[in-house]
Amino acid sequence: MTATKGLEGIVAAASSISSIIDGVLTYRGINIDDLAENASFEEVAYLLWYGKLPNRAELNQLQQQLDEYAVIPQQVIDQIKLYPNGTNSMAALRSAVSSLALYDEEANDMSAEANQRKAIKLQAKLPTVVAAFARIREGKEPVAPKKGVSIAYNFLYMLTGEEPAEVAVKALDQALVLHADHELNASTFAARVTVATLSDIYSGVTSAIGALKGPLHGGANEAVMVMLEEIGSFDNVESYINNALANKVKIMGFGHRVYKNGDPRAKHLQHMSKELGKLKGNMDLFNMSVKIEELVTGQKGLKPNVDFYSASVYTNLGIQRDLFTPIFAISRVSGWTAHILEQYQDNRLIRPRADYVGPSNVKYVPIEDR
């Protein structure tokens, strides 16, 4: 046996949910460009779960289910209020999602129908959890979700307590579409490994959130914003980036394990960043980002990935940077749960082998002789 570090290039599962072929990302065979330009996030979630785009009646039914399940138990809100000051937002989300299982009477019901309902419940509740955490840590009471509005609208409304602008809702909705699924990424693989033991869907999503928390996965967009804040202004971009590249410092938000010719999602987020900058009357973040891209791509040949421009998009939406990765989770839970449902349908325990490289033929030495 020979180990493949990071399982790079290893095909570990057959899936009909999403694909990355020759640099083209599709959900259920539909190009991400087509979905980003035309579909709502709710349509995309339905597509991932059911394998087809919904008709009007099916979309209305899904909206009603999302409305019904969006409220989270008071006990979970009370738990969030007990989290220590400075709690990491992804740690808070991981803990809250795990606890949601305690208040779901179907948590251990492994029927296909119950698991499908739990997928919708998780999709409905994650935005409420993230918004509640964001407000509670500021000493504010959570805002209850509205009915009959999109997930993007509801999240911005619950976060601020104010009706969001149409352009802000559209921008967030498109960002959710772009992040919804991405083949067998680290967090999705973690979810599938967990439920392959026939553990429950809440355990699978909790595992996925733990994987997404890392800066080499979901945390990259937050790291991009940290970099932009450190640079400070457009005039400092060139010296900062040149110095970082000269010292072999990794520039977050560039390059991708799978995409060799650029992430197809990045251009949509770049456009959103530009439009939101115009709306706010402040193009600083966008202009800095474009200059960074020019320098990094020009010198290293690396192109921006989905994380790079999402940092300025979320910041221009007035969202604190430590909520970037939880928003990623709000979107990706649609893909996680689709993969979990697929794993249940044709399950086999995921149990790879390791290439042992330690010592051999070692004899036990009694403790008195050590």
Residues of the chain with CATH 1.10.580.10: 13-213+322-345
- Residue 230 is encoded by which pair of tokens? 């450190």
> 220-316: what CATH class?
mainly alpha
User: What is the per-residue pLDDT for 119?
Assistant: 98
Phi/psi for 264 (5° steps) reads -65, -15
Catalytic residue chosen out of the listed positions 104, 173, 200, 307: 307
CATH architecture type of domain 13-213+322-345: Orthogonal Bundle (1.10)
User: What is the per-residue pLDDT for 354?
Assistant: 92
Residues of the chain with CATH 1.10.230.10: 220-316
User: What is the per-residue pLDDT for 313?
Assistant: 94
Residue that is written with structure tokens 């065979």 in the block: 29
Euclidean distance between CA atoms 255 and 271, whole angstroms: 19
Average of per-residue pLDDT values in the chain: 95
Look at residues 246, 252, 194 and name the one whose alpha carbon lies nearest to residue 228. 252
User: What is the per-residue pLDDT for 161?
Assistant: 96
User: What is the per-residue pLDDT for 170?
Assistant: 95
Q: Let me know if 307 is a catalytic residue.
A: yes
User: What is the per-residue pLDDT for 327?
Assistant: 96
b/e string for 327-345 if b means 16 or more Cβ within 10 A?
A: bbbbbbbbbbbbbbbbbbe
User: What is the per-residue pLDDT for 367?
Assistant: 98
Show Cβ contacts of residue 123 under 8 Å, excluding neighbours closer than 6 positions.
Answer: 45, 66, 151, 333, 334, 337
User: What is the per-residue pLDDT for 8?
Assistant: 83
* Chain centroid, CA 99 distance in Å: 20
* Chain centroid, CA 241 distance in Å: 27
Euclidean distance between CA atoms 327 and 184, whole angstroms: 19
User: What is the per-residue pLDDT for 262?
Assistant: 81
Residue 256 has pLDDT above 80, yes or no: no
User: What is the per-residue pLDDT for 154?
Assistant: 98
- Residue 250 is encoded by which pair of tokens? 């990794």
User: What is the per-residue pLDDT for 10?
Assistant: 85
Euclidean distance between CA atoms 285 and 232, whole angstroms: 9
Instruction: Extract long-range pairs of 146-149: CB within 8 Å, 24+ residues apart.
Output: 147/67, 147/70, 148/63, 148/67
Residue 315 has pLDDT above 90, yes or no: yes
- What average pLDDT does this structure show over 74-96? 97
User: What is the per-residue pLDDT for 5?
Assistant: 87
Q: What single letter denotes the amino acid at residue 154?
A: N
Residue 359 has pLDDT above 80, yes or no: yes
pLDDT (tens digit per residue) in 16-63: 999 999 889 999 999 999 999 999 999 999 999 999 999 999 999 999
- Helix (H), strand (E), coil (C) string for 236-290: HHHHHHHHHHHCCCCCCCECCCCCCCCCCCHHHHHHHHHHHHHHHCCCHHHHHHH
Catalytic residue chosen out of the listed positions 179, 182, 217, 256: 256
Residue 1 has pLDDT above 80, yes or no: no
pLDDT (tens digit per residue) in 175-225: 999 999 999 999 999 999 999 999 999 999 999 999 999 888 888 888 899
Q: Rounded to the nearest 5 degrees, what angle is found at the Cα of 244, between the Cα atoms of 238 and 246?
A: 100
User: What is the per-residue pLDDT for 217?
Assistant: 84
Per mean pLDDT, which range of 8-17, 95-104, 227-236 is the poorest? 8-17
- What average pLDDT does this structure show over 64-79? 98
Euclidean distance between CA atoms 201 and 138, whole angstroms: 31
Q: Let me know if 182 is a catalytic residue.
A: no
